[in-house]
């Protein structure tokens, strides 16, 4: 069984219900061991949109990384996510932050998530569920990366 960290985000509709539904839909292929608190966060990339709710899950799976990605994309579609412009509003967004200590880059998936160290809305909840997790490329823990980023104004416990 591989350890996988998954980020959930939503800023359309009933945001809390979207997070709950996404967590429930993971069952069967991905077993959630721990969920961070839910955080309300300012948009990243494109600012003219509603605020997000974000959460990070620490989970286990027997699926390969690409199969996890396919599974997450299928859940997004089943929940009604519509393709939008980059960083635009979304009903649900499911991202793999890390898969074990795997470092990989394909046309569809880069692990760990390529912008993880830049995004407080990912790092703060990741540091909550796995403060000692070490980024396999940067060699720093989630807690160290979150502290170094210092962008706490845009992320509030909800």
**DSSP structure string for 55-82:** EEEEEEESS-HHHHHHHHHHHHHHTT--
**CA 59/CA 30 separation, integer angstroms:** 6
- Of 74, 93, 100, 151, the catalytic one is 93
Whether 90 sits among the annotated catalytic residues: the reply is yes
- Of 86, 95, 108, 157, the catalytic one is 95
- Of 15, 23, 58, 90, the catalytic one is 90
**CA 80/CA 90 separation, integer angstroms:** 10
**CA 98/CA 145 separation, integer angstroms:** 14
Whether 100 sits among the annotated catalytic residues: the reply is no
Whether 93 sits among the annotated catalytic residues: the reply is yes
Instruction: Supply the Cα-derived Rg of the chain in whole angstroms.
Output: 14
Whether 74 sits among the annotated catalytic residues: the reply is no
User: Does residue 122 come out as left (phi exceeding 0), alpha (psi in the -120 to 50 range) or beta?
Assistant: alpha
Expressed in angstroms, the distance from the first to the final Cα of the chain is 31
- Of 81, 86, 100, 115, the catalytic one is 81
Q: Which residues does the annotation mark as catalytic?
A: 81, 90, 93, 95
């Amino acid at each position: 069984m591989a350890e996988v960290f998954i980020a959930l985000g939503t800023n359309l509709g009933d945001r809390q219900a979207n997070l709950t539904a996404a967590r429930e839909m993971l069952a069967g292929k991905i077993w959630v061991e721990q969920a961070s608190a839910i955080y309300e966060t300012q948009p990243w990339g494109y600012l003219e949109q509603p605020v997000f709710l974000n959460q990070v899950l620490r989970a286990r799976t027997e699926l390969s990384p690409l199969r996890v990605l396919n599974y997450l994309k299928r859940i997004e579609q089943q929940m009604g996510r519509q393709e939008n412009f980059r960083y635009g509003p979304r009903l649900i967004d499911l991202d793999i932050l890390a898969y074990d200590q795997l470092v990989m880059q394909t046309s569809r998936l880069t692990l760990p998530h390529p912008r993880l160290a830049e995004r407080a809305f990912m790092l703060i909840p990741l540091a909550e569920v796995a403060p000692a997790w070490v980024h396999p490329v940067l060699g720093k823990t989630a807690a160290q990366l979150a502290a170094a980023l210092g962008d706490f104004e845009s992320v509030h416990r909800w």
